[in-house]
C-alpha cells in the first residue's frame, strides 16, 4: 500500500486506520484511529515496509531458526522473542501467526511432501499484497 499526503493548507490532520502497517507502528487510540497534526508544506510518504515472507528472524534466509523462533514466541517459551515483522512470520499469509506457519516453512525448506513456497513476497523483498491483514511490520533490515 502506498499513499502520499501533501499538505497545501495551513493545517491538516492525517488519519491512519487500524489494520494498516502504518497504524501499528505506534499506539492507537481506543477507536482504532491514529491522528497526526502536520503543518503546511509537509510531505509524507507512507509505504508499507518490505519483507521476505517466512523469514521470522529477519536474517535474509528461510531456515530452521525461523520456525523455532516462531514456536518459542507463539507458545511463550523461554527464549521466545516477538518478530519485528509479523507479516514475515505469517508464512501462509492467513493473517494469523500460528503452528501451520512453522510447519509450512519446515515442509518447504526440507523438501517434504506438501511443502510449498510461501506466497509473495518471496523469495525476494516486497510489500504485502494482502494488506491490510491485521499484521504489521516495524522493521525488516535485510530489505530496503
Cα separation, 139 vs 64, whole angstroms? 21
Q: Are residues 140 and 86 in the same domain?
A: yes
Nearest of 30, 78, 80 to residue 56 by alpha carbon: 80
Quick check: 43 pLDDT over 70? no
What grid cell was written down for 79? 527464549
Instruction: Using pLDDT thresholds of 50, 70 and 90, give the confidence band for residue 46.
Output: low
- Domain boundary among the residues 25, 47, 69 is at 47
Q: Are residues 102 and 135 in the same domain?
A: yes
What grid cell was written down for 68? 523455532
Q: Considering its fold, how many domains does the chain have in total? A: 2
Q: Are residues 137 and 71 in the same domain?
A: yes
Q: Are residues 96 and 121 in the same domain?
A: yes
Q: Are residues 115 and 54 in the same domain?
A: yes
In this prediction, residues 48-63 reach a mean pLDDT of: 93
C-alpha count within 13 angstroms, C-beta hemisphere, residue 78: 0
Instruction: Tell me which residue range forms the domain holding 86.
Output: 50-144
Nearest of 8, 24, 32 to residue 83 by alpha carbon: 24
Q: Are residues 43 and 55 in the same domain?
A: no
Cα separation, 46 vs 51, whole angstroms? 16
Q: Are residues 84 and 141 in the same domain?
A: yes
- Domain boundary among the residues 11, 31, 47 is at 47
- 85, 142, 49, 42 alpha-carbon torsion, rounded to 10°: 130
Q: Are residues 39 and 83 in the same domain?
A: no
Q: Are residues 135 and 80 in the same domain?
A: yes
Q: Are residues 92 and 62 in the same domain?
A: yes
Q: Taking the complete model, does pTM exceed 0.75, yes or no? A: no
What grid cell was written down for 133? 491483514
Q: Are residues 131 and 69 in the same domain?
A: yes
Return left, alpha or beta for 19; rule: phi > 0 is left, psi -120 to 50 is alpha, else beta. left
59-92 pLDDT tens trace: 999 999 999 999 999 999 998 999 999 999 999 9
Instruction: Using pLDDT thresholds of 50, 70 and 90, give the confidence band for residue 39.
Output: low
Q: Are residues 34 and 70 in the same domain?
A: no
Cell 491485521, residue?
134
Amino acid at each position: 500500500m502506498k499513499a502520499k499526503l501533501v499538505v497545501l493548507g495551513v493545517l491538516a490532520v492525517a488519519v491512519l486506520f487500524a489494520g494498516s502497517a502504518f497504524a501499528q507502528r505506534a499506539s492507537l487510540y481506543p477507536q482504532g484511529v491514529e491522528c497526526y497534526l502536520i503543518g503546511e508544506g509537509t510531505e509524507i510518504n507512507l509505504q508499507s515496509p518490505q519483507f521476505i515472507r517466512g523469514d521470522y528472524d529477519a536474517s535474509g534466509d528461510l531456515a530452521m531458526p525461523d520456525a523455532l523462533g516462531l514456536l518459542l514466541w507463539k507458545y511463550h517459551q523461554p527464549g521466545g522473542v516477538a518478530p519485528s515483522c509479523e507479516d514475515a512470520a505469517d508464512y501462509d499469509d492467513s493473517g494469523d501467526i500460528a503452528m501451520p506457519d512453522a510447519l509450512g516453512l519446515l515442509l518447504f525448506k526440507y523438501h517434504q511432501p506438501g511443502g510449498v513456497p510461501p506466497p509473495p513476497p518471496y523469495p525476494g523483498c516486497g510489500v504485502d499484497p494482502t494488506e491490510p491483514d491485521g499484521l504489521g511490520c516495524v522493521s525488516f533490515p535485510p530489505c530496503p
